[in-house]
Every structure is written in structure tokens, then in C-alpha cells.
Amino acid sequence: MEALTAHNAKVCLTADDMEGLNVLYPVCTGLDMTVNTQKDWNCGKSKQNIGWVRVLAWIFIPVAIIMLCELMVLSRLKHHEEEKMKKKDDKLAEVNVVAKAAEKKANKEEKKAHAAQAALQSQIATEDERVEERAQELAAARIQAQLKRKKAQQQANQLKADRNAREQAGETVNYGASYLPTKAAPAGLPSGALPQTRKV
């Protein structure tokens, strides 16, 4: 009985309920043992119309709170990703600046290398000519030195021949290095300043 009436959809007492109450608690007023409570007492169940409120309270509000939390988390994640992308963009811009500077420097060094290579090629192209010119200069200088030495030797031989001829002719010959000191030198000259000649 309790199991059947615990969650009864009807709020009014039925005829069986009234009969049971009259049996347990009899009255002397002569009332009928059965009474239609819904008609006489107006105990019909009123429509509260709170189904949508319950749906709103138990479904939509939690869903809204969950969605709000998700939006906050997603907003924070988006902000974090934007910060990361901004840092990456800044780093990329810095790397691009460094790369452009390095490229500019590399182009400058490449131009210098090309200029040095061109100068080296020009030097290599004219190296044979310069070596030949230097060799000709050295050969000419050597030839001139030999000619001068030969001419000086000829002059020395000629002087020696003339001296021998004069010596054979009985003339007094000055040998230059054969100096003998004199007893008295002229005024103003030191002793032994005049060369002595010898007669052969």
C-alpha cells in the first residue's frame, strides 16, 4: 500500500481512502462513508508550469556556466598563442635584419674578392713581361759592369805598358805607392808628405 501511494500522481483522497478513514475514525454526523473530495473539497492538483524553470535551472544554466568557462579558457589560450606568435614574429624580424646585414656584408666582400681576383689575374698576365723586363735590366747592368771592368782593365794595362816603356827608356817613374820620407818637408806640409821617386 505504501509502495503504491508513495508517489501518487493524484493529490485528492479517493473513495477507498475516505472509507478507510471513516472505519478507523467513525463519526456520528451521519455522513456518507464515501465522499468525492475532488468535487466537494476542490482538491484538484493545480498546474504549476515550472517545467521550463527546472529545465533552465538544471540544464541551461550549467551549460551556460560550462560554456562561459570554456570561452574564458579559449580566450586565454588564444591570448597565449598570440603572444607566442608575436615573439616569433619579433624574432623572425630580428633574424631577417641580421640576415640582410650579413647578405650586404657578403656582397661587399664578394665585390672585394672579385676585384682582388681581377687584380691577381692582371698581375699574373703581366708577370711574364715584368720578369722579362727585370731580366733584361739585370742583363744590361751586368753587361755594363763587365764593359766597365774590361775598360778599366784595359786602361790599367795601358798605363802599365806606358810605365814599363818609360822605365825601359830610362825615365824616372813614379810608382805611386813607393814613398820614402824626406828629411825636410816644405813649409806648411807635414814630414813625409811628398812622394819620393826612384831612378832605375
The pLDDT assigned to 46 comes to 65
Q: What is the DSSP letter of 6?
A: T
Q: Are 41 and 11 in contact (CB under 8 A)?
A: no
Give residue-wise pLDDT tens across range 84-107: 999 999 999 999 999 999 999 999
In angstroms, the CA 72 to CA 196 distance is 130
The pTM for the full model equals: 0.34
Please name every residue paired with 173 in a beta bridge, in sequence order, or none if there are none: 198
Q: Are 150 and 160 in contact (CB under 8 A)?
A: no
In angstroms, the CA 110 to CA 107 distance is 5
Asked if pLDDT for residue 33 goes beyond 60, the answer is no
Q: Which residues make Cβ contacts (< 8 Å) with residue 197, sequence separation at least 6?
A: 172, 173, 174
Give residue-wise pLDDT tens across range 38-74: 666 666 566 667 778 888 888 889 999 999 999 999 9
